[in-house]
């Protein structure tokens, strides 16, 4: 698809996870002829693929409508097919820069194209922060028991009644550890310092659990296992000594980074954590008229496929109503 100085899109969706495809389904059924710019694969340090974080998830058991479960890539393929069925057009490129200073808006793409549009839905998601170890990333991408979301994966049968590890010391790590105590024989919390950053209430909830063991002043320097994780190599941050810890699951909880670099200088407002700020919590509208946001790029609380899909629906409806107000049909 080449750029056209004459064509002005009604709505462009940037991103192709649950939020982006759901926005595409709703926008297409509203006859908005949406263009979905899905991105291109890259390594950062784990693979970042069109389709979002679910492309790295082998089994999804908590999305309604799939009683037997479904793999993340299969689910995203179904979402895309459904969006395309109603007329969503797909463009494989990255948006490198946005000009929201005047309407129609201008999007500059990695393939050199320029796209002009009356409205934009930002649905680029957020990527988990990884330690960056070769075996960690390999096992995370092959279903080998390494994950960045305990709420997503912790209840899977493969992790039940097994020793599991959580890396991190903030509120997210405490939430992940507390959740895993329901399923694990032991939850090993690994933290590089001698105290947590998490709130006192969250710390107390974890530290009081009978099946939690904290490994203070430790970092993970290797992940053991061929097809599935069997253990970790921990290093003492003070002495440098190493030790092996047998575990059958590893959950990385050291934060997420919203995919917003392409929005720098665009005028879109961010919150204190760097996520797209939605001034009205009940709406997908950003601080710029005609620019909407959906999914993990604007949600640092839930970060679930189903909440992202719901936000994508909301953004498409908001965009449709806004376009009608502008007289764009």
- Tell me the β-bridge partners of 186: 163
**292 within domain boundaries:** yes
Final residue of a domain: which of 198, 227, 252? 252
Mean pLDDT split into 10-residue runs, the chain, 329 residues:
71 97 98 96 76 82 94 95 98 97 96 97 94 94 92 92 97 95 98 95 95 98 97 98 98 94 96 94 94 96 94 98 94
Number of structural domains in the chain: 2
Q: How far apart are CA 195 and CA 204, in angstroms?
A: 12
Quote the pLDDT of residue 303: 87
pLDDT computed for residue 2 by the predictor: 44
Q: Given this model, what pLDDT does residue 50 score?
A: 86
- Distances in Å between the alpha carbon of 78 and those of 15, 53, 92? 16, 15, 18
Do 150 and 202 belong to one domain? Answer: yes
Same-domain pairing of 220 and 290? no
Give residue 70's pLDDT. Answer: 94
Q: Which positions are catalytic?
A: 149, 152-153
pLDDT of residue 281: 80
Q: Domain containing 40 — which CATH number?
A: 3.50.50.60
The answer to whether position 4 is within a domain reads no
252: enclosing H helix or E strand: strand 250-252
In a domain, 47, yes or no: yes
What sign for the dihedral angle of Cα 64, 69, 72, 77? Answer: negative
- The C-alpha atoms of residue 180 and residue 107 are separated, in whole angstroms, by 43
Q: Are residues 243 and 275 in the same domain?
A: no
For position 131, what pLDDT does the model report? 96
Model pLDDT, residue 49: 78
Residue partners of 324: CB distance under 8 A and separation at least 6: none
Answer whether 154's CB lies under 8 Å from 178's CB. no
pTM exceeds cut of 0.75: yes
Least Cα distance to 303 among 57, 179, 126 occurs for: 126
Neighbours of 291 (CB within 10 A): 23
Does 16 share its domain with 87? yes
Q: Which two tokens stand for residue 4?
A: 């056209």
List the domain range (segments joined by +) for residue 165. Answer: 130-252
């Amino acid at each position: 698809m080449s750029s056209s100085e004459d064509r002005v899109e009604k709505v462009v969706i940037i991103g192709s996870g649950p939020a982006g495809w759901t926005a595409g389904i709703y926008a297409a059924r509203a006859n908005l002829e949406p263009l979905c710019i899905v991105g291109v694969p890259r390594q950062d340090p784990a693979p970042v693929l069109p389709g979002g974080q679910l492309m790295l998830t082998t089994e999804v058991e908590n999305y309604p409508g799939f009683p037997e479960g479904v793999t993340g890539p299969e689910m995203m393929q179904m979402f895309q097919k459904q969006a395309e069925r109603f007329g969503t057009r797909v463009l494989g490129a990255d948006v490198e820069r946005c000009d929201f200073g005047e309407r129609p808006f201008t999007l500059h793409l990695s393939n050199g194209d320029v796209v002009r549009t009356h409205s934009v839905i930002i649905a680029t998601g957020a990527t988990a922060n990884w330690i960056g170890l070769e075996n960690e990333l390999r096992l995370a991408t092959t279903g080998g028991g390494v994950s960045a979301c305990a709420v997503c994966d912790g209840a899977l049968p493969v992790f039940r009644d097994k020793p599991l590890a959580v890396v991190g010391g903030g509120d997210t790590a405490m939430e992940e550890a507390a959740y895993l105590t329901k399923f694990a024989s032991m939850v090993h919390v690994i933290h590089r310092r001698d105290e947590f950053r998490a709130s006192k209430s969250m710390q107390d909830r974890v530290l009081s659990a009978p099946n939690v063991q904290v490994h203070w002043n430790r970092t993970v320097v290797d992940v053991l296992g061929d097809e599935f994780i069997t253990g970790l190599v921990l290093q003492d941050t003070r002495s440098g000594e190493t030790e092996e810890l047998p575990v059958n699951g590893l959950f990385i909880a050291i934060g997420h980074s919203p995919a917003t670099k392409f929005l720098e200088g665009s005028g879109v407002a961010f919150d204190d954590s760097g996520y797209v700020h939605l001034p009205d919590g009940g709406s997908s509208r950003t601080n710029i008229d005609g620019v909407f946001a959906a999914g993990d790029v604007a949600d640092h609380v839930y970060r679930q496929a189903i909440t992202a899909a719901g936000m994508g629906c909301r953004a498409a409806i908001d965009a449709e109503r806004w376009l009608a107000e502008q007289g764009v049909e």
